[in-house]
Amino acid sequence: MDNNEQVLTIAFESGRLSYSSLEVDLYNTGLNQILSAVAARGHLLYHFSMEGLFLHEDRPHAMASVLELPENWYSDPLECYRLLKKIDERPVDLSTIDLCFFRADDVRNLSTPNLDLIRTIEEHGILLESVDATLSTNDKYETLVRCPDLPQPLTCAAETLDEAMEAINKLPRENGFFVLKDRYGYGCGHGVHRIGFDDPELTEVINMYLNLYNDVILQEFCPEIENGDIVVTFFDGELIGSMLREAAAGEWKTNFSLGANQLPHTLSPEHEEIARAAQRAFPETRLLSVDMLHSGKILEVNAFPGGQGLLELYGISLSNMVLDRLERELLGKPKTPSAMVKTITTQPDYQWDDIYDHYKGHAEEVEVIDVFSEEKYVLSTGDLIEFRPQNPDFILSIPHSGVLIPAKYQDHFKLDAKTLLEIDLFSDILFEALGGLQVISRLAPFFVDMNRRRNGAESKKLPGHLENPPTEYYTIKDELILQKGYTPSQEKSILEYYDLYHDILALLIEKQKTERGYALLIDAHSMTSVGLGRVHDKGEERDNIVVGTLDDTSAHPEIIQAFVNTLKQGIKPLDLELTLAKNEPYSGGFITRMHSDPKNDVHAIQIEITMDTYMYEAIDTDKDKRYALKQSRLRIAQEFLRKATLAASDTARRIYSS
């Protein structure tokens, strides 16, 4: 068989197969990307834990789960771990494993059982990271031992209460806190605690952690962590990239898993020299990150850094970089892109041709003006009504975030700061991170409102703001924003954008029903934090999150419950005073009303987020901050929304698979 076609036997070791509601999720963005890349390239994929290792006829084996993607799967190949399923469980001879990724969250130190068995993989294949690399990076005191000349917070190790109390007396007290860590940790912020020197139960607290961890690290707390820390990623000695992590609001730790914001960062020559020195001190480790403060102090060296930040900030796919190199080592050369595409797209482009056919007949390019920046561009219809197929678990509609209007209609409006109040500003940035099969209008809603009935409506059952036709937009003060009427041909041309948006939604719903037996639609909006204009809650402060379910008729009750409960659980521990409501002040707009039909297996939920949850609103008095994104809160909101959407789609899948 040609090397490009050869299938490798690849395994993942971790304590559990999943750490979330997904069936397969190693809860590490770098490992999840690698997991996805392995599956997307068609390799045979196993999972096992250290507990599952055993000898059979004097040969090392593992009781392993067999993982597979469904037939005709479609997804972002770096996110397809979400679709993996455990299809079997069987004993696997470790000598048949070509490559094993060793997360080792169930490994502490040399006393961990079965280390000798997993080492045998290195006799004939690749174990990444090796046992020695894993043990050295798991030991958070090892950096001090190996790098005594590099700047680091004052750090002590302790196994007993007396040793711990002696260490505490050595630590600087002016900042009021010290950091206590499990000596043997695998990252993600687990086992890291900040403790006050003046805690009246200090002795009991230290005893508790000693009983929990047996070995602890006590470390100087550096308040500069408030400015974030710097993560420098290396692979085989090559510096891949660096980024700045800012802690989430109300959190002092900067781990991405705890909601931290990740930003691009350029290393100073001094910081690069320190990071490289730390990396060289761990020559047995191939893939690692160095975490450091702005002062240059090294905090930790970790194996298996996360990959999400590098991908989002720089477009660097750490997983493909790693897997390409390992395939080359095992096969002589990596799979070619064409071989990967053959695996990834078992149906050509997942049959999106019928979606893209809807764009035919529209003007190829049109000059538009950005009403926010006042800049002009030439864009295609596909740029104005955008279809973005990401993961297939749900359909995401973002109808009101657009800031563009065709320049030829500019004189029909008085474009000023007031028009920006009519736009769900930056809601696309907020919601695009959720994934899904996305349909996004980049056109300003006051130009053509996708969330209105095509011919308007005269119904006492509808809220007043839903009665207008798409091209007759009234402001929050109930004033017609259109200053100059359209000719019939102009209106027909504008409504083609409206028809395109809804045709794509309808087609996606039918495709999902055909392929899954149901469709799940999330219609995503933002709103002002105070009711403005012709709304029944005028002048009233709104809840931060409003879930619209048409009084619990727009979707199956269990789907609604999963969505709402996960939101509640997601915002509760944040201590940001975020509040959640259902159906008040918005129970669901036209899109939700038009497309929801639970009796016929179409489920829809509308989500509204107050703008002050993720940005500074137009109504904010501080003009210097107006319209600025709250980066950390944006990331936090994306995370709890992502989890809620995932819970809803998982529930829908369970309902229809039972």
User: What pLDDT was estimated at residue 348?
Assistant: 34
* 154: confidence class by pLDDT, cuts 50, 70, 90: very high
Query: Minimum mean pLDDT among 252-261, 394-403, 497-506, 636-645: which range?
Result: 252-261
CATH at residue 366: 3.40.630.40
End of a domain among 129, 164, 185? 129
Spatial distance between the Cα atoms of 82 and 23, rounded to a whole number of angstroms: 7
Domain extent at residue 371: 349-657
User: What pLDDT was estimated at residue 335?
Assistant: 39
User: What pLDDT was estimated at residue 59?
Assistant: 93
Q: Show the tokens assigned to 567.
A: 């939101």
- Count the neighbouring beta carbons within 10 Å of the beta carbon of residue 295: 11
Spatial distance between the Cα atoms of 58 and 447, rounded to a whole number of angstroms: 74
What kind and span of H or E run contains 37?
Answer: helix 29-40
Asked whether residue 420 falls in the same domain as residue 358, the answer is yes
Asked whether residue 379 falls in the same domain as residue 522, the answer is yes
Q: What is the mean pLDDT of the segment spanning 84-98?
A: 95
User: What pLDDT was estimated at residue 580?
Assistant: 94
Q: Is the pTM of this model over 0.85?
A: no
Asked whether residue 107 falls in the same domain as residue 196, the answer is no
Q: What is the mean pLDDT of the segment spanning 296-317?
A: 87
Q: Is the pLDDT of residue 625 over 90?
A: no
For residue 261, being part of any structural domain is answered with no
- Count the neighbouring beta carbons within 10 Å of the beta carbon of residue 33: 26
Asked whether residue 469 falls in the same domain as residue 551, the answer is yes
- Of 87, 97, 107, 128, the closest CA to residue 11 belongs to 97
CATH at residue 189: 3.30.1490.20
User: What pLDDT was estimated at residue 371?
Assistant: 87
Spatial distance between the Cα atoms of 542 and 527, rounded to a whole number of angstroms: 9
Query: Minimum mean pLDDT among 168-177, 288-297, 449-458: which range?
Result: 449-458
- Please give the residue that has the higher pLDDT: either 121 or 313: 121
CA end-to-end distance (rounded Å), the chain: 40
Question: In this predicted model, what pLDDT tens digit does every residue of 346-369 receive, in sequence order?
Answer: 333 345 777 878 887 776 788 999
Q: What is the mean pLDDT of the segment spanning 569-593?
A: 88
Spatial distance between the Cα atoms of 260 and 251, rounded to a whole number of angstroms: 9
Question: In this predicted model, what pLDDT tens digit does every residue of 16-55 receive, in sequence order?
Answer: 999 888 899 988 888 999 999 999 999 999 999 999 999 9
- Please give the residue that has the higher pLDDT: either 58 or 536: 58
Asked whether residue 71 falls in the same domain as residue 180, the answer is no
Spatial distance between the Cα atoms of 467 and 451, rounded to a whole number of angstroms: 10
User: What pLDDT was estimated at residue 93?
Assistant: 95
262 phi, psi to nearest 5 deg = -115, 130
3-state SS of 297-316? CEEEEEECCCCHHHHHHHCC
DSSP one-letter code for 17? S
Asked whether residue 77 falls in the same domain as residue 186, the answer is no
* 3: confidence class by pLDDT, cuts 50, 70, 90: very low
- Of 533, 410, 398, the closest CA to residue 475 belongs to 533
End of a domain among 198, 221, 244? 221
Alpha carbon 397 to its chain centroid, in Å, reads: 18
User: What pLDDT was estimated at residue 292?
Assistant: 93
Q: What is the mean pLDDT of the segment spanning 235-261?
A: 78
- Residue 652 makes CB contacts below 8 A (sequence gap 6+) with 394, 518, 520, 556, 559, 603
Per DSSP, what are the bridge partners of residue 531?
538
The domain tally of the chain equals 3
User: What pLDDT was estimated at residue 220?
Assistant: 92
Asked whether residue 526 falls in the same domain as residue 390, the answer is yes
Asked whether residue 159 falls in the same domain as residue 125, the answer is no
Q: Show the tokens assigned to 103.
A: 């997360």
435 within 8 A of 402, measured Cβ to Cβ: no
For residue 272, being part of any structural domain is answered with no
Q: Report the SS3 class of residue 220.
A: strand
Asked whether residue 409 falls in the same domain as residue 542, the answer is yes
For residue 259, being part of any structural domain is answered with no
- Please give the residue that has the higher pLDDT: either 115 or 515: 115
Asked whether residue 633 falls in the same domain as residue 555, the answer is yes
Q: Which residue has the tokens 């009234």?
A: 474
- Count the neighbouring beta carbons within 10 Å of the beta carbon of residue 61: 20
* 304: confidence class by pLDDT, cuts 50, 70, 90: confident
- Of 337, 314, 311, the closest CA to residue 324 belongs to 337
Q: What is the DSSP string of 352-417?
A: THHHHGGGTTS-S-EEEEETTT--EEEE-HHHHEEEEE--TT-EEEE-S---EEEGGGGGGB--SH
Q: What is the mean pLDDT of the segment spanning 302-325?
A: 86
For residue 250, being part of any structural domain is answered with no
Residue type at 390 in one-letter notation = Q
- Of 645, 613, 646, 633, the closest CA to residue 260 belongs to 633
Q: Which residue has the tokens 């809601």?
A: 427
- Count the neighbouring beta carbons within 10 Å of the beta carbon of residue 357: 10
* 578: confidence class by pLDDT, cuts 50, 70, 90: very high
158 within 8 A of 150, measured Cβ to Cβ: no
585 within 8 A of 537, measured Cβ to Cβ: yes
For residue 342, being part of any structural domain is answered with no
* 514: confidence class by pLDDT, cuts 50, 70, 90: confident
Q: Is the pLDDT of residue 188 over 70?
A: no
CA contacts within 13 A on the Cβ side of 414? 7
- Of 514, 89, 37, 574, the closest CA to residue 319 belongs to 37
- Helix axis angle for 29-40 and 318-331, nearest 10°, is 50
For residue 276, being part of any structural domain is answered with no
User: What pLDDT was estimated at residue 191?
Assistant: 73
User: What pLDDT was estimated at residue 577?
Assistant: 86
Q: Show the tokens assigned to 262.
A: 């990740």
For residue 638, being part of any structural domain is answered with yes
User: What pLDDT was estimated at residue 85?
Assistant: 93
Q: Is the pLDDT of residue 187 over 70?
A: no
Q: What is the DSSP string of 174-234?
A: TTSEEEEEESB--STTTTEEEEETT-TTHHHHHHHHHHHHSSEEEEE--GGGGG-EEEEEE
| CA angle centred on 370, ends 611 and 476, rounded to 5° | 45
End of a domain among 188, 221, 254? 221
Percent of the chain with pLDDT over 90: 48
Asked whether residue 182 falls in the same domain as residue 108, the answer is no
User: What pLDDT was estimated at residue 363?
Assistant: 66
Spatial distance between the Cα atoms of 560 and 547, rounded to a whole number of angstroms: 9
CA contacts within 13 A on the Cβ side of 411? 2
For residue 392, being part of any structural domain is answered with yes
Instruction: Report strand pairing: 602-610 vs 519-527.
Output: parallel
CATH at residue 30: 3.40.50.20
Asked whether residue 180 falls in the same domain as residue 115, the answer is no
